[in-house]
Amino acid sequence: MTTSSRQDDIVRVLLDQYHELSRQTESEWVSATDVAEVLQVDRTTAFRALHDMTGDGLVEARGNTRNRRYRLDCNSEPFIRWELSQPPATRALSPYNPAVLQAYEPNVTRWLSPEQAKAL
């Protein structure tokens, strides 16, 4: 899946502005109008890009017509591919948790859940 620069901008808006938009809307779901205002583009332009991104599996949608709301599907394969296509310096940092390493016991504990191991 290749994203356009507008779609990249929308993903960044949904990532970077997540807390601001969710605080304003009191939800993790945002409308095309919310995205259009942040990007300073026409609502129809934002809607079309969000519609394409929904079809690609990058964004989840609920509701219909003007009540339709969107959010990133951060566990989807398209999102992971998108994130890995970005330069490393622009990706979100993953915090280091020393407790994970300290709790690990070789040949006793596992890094992956049985579902994750099966998927791999």
Q: How far is CA 94 from CA 40, 80, 88, 107, in A?
A: 30, 14, 12, 26
21 has a pLDDT exceeding 70: no
Write down the pTM of the prediction: 0.62
Residue-wise pLDDT tens digits, 91-118? 777 778 888 888 888 888 888 888 888 8
SS3 16: helix
> What is the spatial distance between Cα 111 and Cα 99, in angstroms, rounded to a whole number?
13
Residue-wise pLDDT tens digits, 31-75? 888 888 888 888 888 888 888 888 888 889 998 877 898 888 878
